[in-house]
Structure 1
Amino acid sequence: MKPVFKPLTIVTSMLFTSMLNATSLPIDSIRLPPGFSIDIYADNVPNARQMALGDNGTVFVGSRKAGKVHALIDSNNDGHANNMIEVASDLFLPSGIAFHQGDLFVAEVDKIWRYPNIEATLPAIPQPQLVFDKLPNKSHHGWKFIAFGPGGKLYIPVGAPCNVCESDLPFASILALDIKTKATSIIAKGARNSVGFDFHPVTGELWFTDNGRDMMGDDLPDDELNHVSQAGQHFGFPYVHNADIIDPEFGHKASHIHNRAPALNLGAHVAALGMEFYQGQQFPAQYQGSIFIAQHGSWNRSSKVGYRIMQVTLDGNKVSEYKPFATGWLQGQTSWGRPVAVLTMPDGALLVSDDAANAIYRISYQQPQ
């Protein structure tokens, strides 16, 4: 299905919607380290998922169930979006978006679209261009998280079409797409369902989160943080989980793969999604180069876990610390929000999207007195 878009002749005032102040979200319950605070950047953003930052400061937001993409504009630079523009609707789980060389890229389950030079035309929306349509159309784990790598290729995960199964490539892999030649290559295999990744700011190597399989109990297996040191490495699924847990259904075939161990086990069922290496200048020095991971939260565990932002500190390529950074979306066994993705803004503040509360938060830092 081709995206529904607004042609260039539409009157500007028809596209802008004033953002409402979020008075009902209990952000006072969010706990952060000393000096940090959290505010609402935007609310009423339907099913907010991955975010991408335009060259002029526009924050683009994908969705999953809503089937829409929006552009958020903070026109007075006060840290709160005051205008929201609908970029597209009626899309097939358009969770993943990326901004590259002035163009917005939107990932449906089976297609990649380009909206050329979009910030120059807003609030009118340019005609979308089909970039790639050779992705599988399976919706199970089919929604995407996309990003351009250091070499200019578009990285696209293709989740396994099941809880656990053997499937042909490109399922359970991460691809790199040359958007000019349309050629793809396999970057990582045995990745069950990656909905977040970033590139190391020094080495340029890919690090990604991966959601572990279900139906092995409350505590097995862990979600993973993985590091790709060489293209084509295998990360175990569906044969081995967390490097040494043999799958009860497919583990008898584990001997034929040479799987790479995770850089870090993140906890079972936490639903680790978006992640980013922090490269802003606002946070204190000990946060530079840290990985922030959004944990969406469990859906099938007897007691809930996740629903938070975690910080991972590296020493070279080794994890030296793993600890909570922002918590409070889960109160007891009741959750009021589910973090999805993180995005560093030009001023160094960190945005967090929430597809359950339909909101985007802004976490900032000021030196305590």
Structure 2
Amino acid sequence: MRMALFLLLSWLAMQVQAASPLEQLTLPPGFHIALYSDQVANAREIALGAKGTVFVGSGDAGKVYALTDSKGAGVADKVRVVASALESPIGVAFKNGDLYISAVSRIVVLRDIENHLDDPPAPEVVTDKLPTETHHGSKFLAFGPDGKLYVPIGAPCNVCDPGPDHGKLIRMNADGSGMEDVARGIRNSVGFDWQPGTGQLWFTDNGRDMLDDDLPSDELNRITRPGEHFGFPYCHQGDTLDPEFGQGKRCSDYAPPVLKLGAHVAALGMRFYEGRQFPASYKGAIIVAEHGSWNRTKKSGYRVMTVHLQGSKVLSYEPLITGFAPNEQAWGRPADVQPLPDGSLLVSDDLTGAVYRVTYKP
């Protein structure tokens, strides 16, 4: 009897070990997650083309990928590399048939890319006038409702006074001209989007490291006027002065976060959800990819979260996907989220080199 029980438990343990990592994930009732592609090394920001192409930037690989689902089956059946040998091209943005790509100090563009997926054109330089520092040098990209390209310039440090050339969000025309500052006091934003209806820009910002396990929190911020300062490096999370750079400063002088996301969660990509597939409560909510901590006693982040809103007021902050780091062992790290026209949601994972698709069916 004991031997039979031992064999049964051993068999069950092997089944758990052999289970797909996706089976370890937890989503709210009715939500489902499946593999869209596992051929995207170090998958980061996601952008959608006009003809349904899913473009994905990458970090370590130096490549940009184009994923196509020719059968409409919810799975990428072809993965192409449309650019390579670029410096940390995590950021991708699509406009008027062209794909814009960040490459630390440069932004390049692939013209008419969806008509040349099999023979992509050589990248054209839009600008090469961005800072060259690689610490927080990788850049998320997005075009705003004003038609301008928005680009974050992170602080080149964990914590320092970055001066006028860093720690900010800028914008420029699509040809690289007209570069101007939008907001300052931003340590490292790797995700932003514009709220439907208000047109206001919301963004995630990573808090400094090496202060405390639970301080400071990452931030979800909202820009209400041009030139706002969000506190870095003087004030963190809206209420905590930096022990070195906060001397003589007041947190009340800076724009506070709309929501504290948690210490060291490494909040990256975020998008407003405007689809109709998810329940009605998700309409207008923000979906946030939290990459996960690297310097905390107990891991935080490693999840995808939902911020439910009523206008600019936060109603709740709750998990959409958890289970990427069971028993403190991370097997996946969410990097970006991107709703699709059918209302499903793509999630990139740079640790496994995968893109997942989240659907809802009661």
TM-score range, shorter chain: over 0.9
What fraction of aligned residue pairs are identical, expressed as a percent?
53
- What stretches of structure 1 move > 3 A for 4+ residues in a row? none
TM-score, structure 1 normalization: 0.91
| Distance in 1 separating the partners of 2:289 and 2:318 | 12
Task: Name the structure 1 match of 2:241.
Answer: 246
Identify which of 298, 304, 325 aligns with 1:330.
325
Give 1:255 deviation, angstroms.
4.3
| Distance in 2 separating the partners of 1:355 and 1:193 | 18
Contact 1:190 1:237 in 2 (8 A): yes
Q: Deviations over 1:296-355 (max 9, x none)?
A: 000010110110000001111111111111111110211100000000111110000000
Runs of 5+ in structure 1 lacking a partner? 1-22
The correspondence of residues 136-151 of structure 1 with structure 2, limited to 5 A, is: 136-151=131-146
Contact 1:92 1:109 in 2 (8 A): yes
SS in 2 for 1:144: coil
Identify which of 269, 276, 281 aligns with 2:276.
281
Identify which of 176, 179, 188 aligns with 2:174.
179
Task: Name the structure 1 match of 2:313.
Answer: 318
SS in 2 for 1:329: coil
Q: Deviations over 1:142-173 (max 9, x none)?
A: 00111000000000000000000012223010
Structure 1 35/129 Cα, relative in aligned 2: closer, same or farther at 3 Å? Answer: same
| Distance in 1 separating the partners of 2:217 and 2:176 | 37
Asked if 1:120 corresponds to 2:112, the answer is no
Q: Deviations over 1:197-247 (max 9, x none)?
A: 000011111000000000111000000000000011000000000111010
Contact 1:159 1:192 in 2 (8 A): yes
Contact 1:106 1:113 in 2 (8 A): yes
Contact 1:234 1:257 in 2 (8 A): no
Asked if 1:229 corresponds to 2:203, the answer is no
Larger Rg: 2
Task: Name the structure 1 match of 2:185.
Answer: 190
Contact 1:173 1:186 in 2 (8 A): yes
Q: Deviations over 1:21-56 (max 9, x none)?
A: xx9851011111111100000002110000100011
Asked if 1:206 corresponds to 2:201, the answer is yes
Structure 1 57/24 Cα, relative in aligned 2: closer, same or farther at 3 Å? Answer: farther
Asked if 1:267 corresponds to 2:262, the answer is yes
Amino acid across the alignment from 2:255: R
Contact 1:239 1:253 in 2 (8 A): no
Contact 2:82 2:117 in 1 (8 A): no
Identify which of 59, 67, 78 aligns with 2:62.
67
Give 1:132 deviation, angstroms.
0.9
TM-score, structure 2 normalization: 0.93
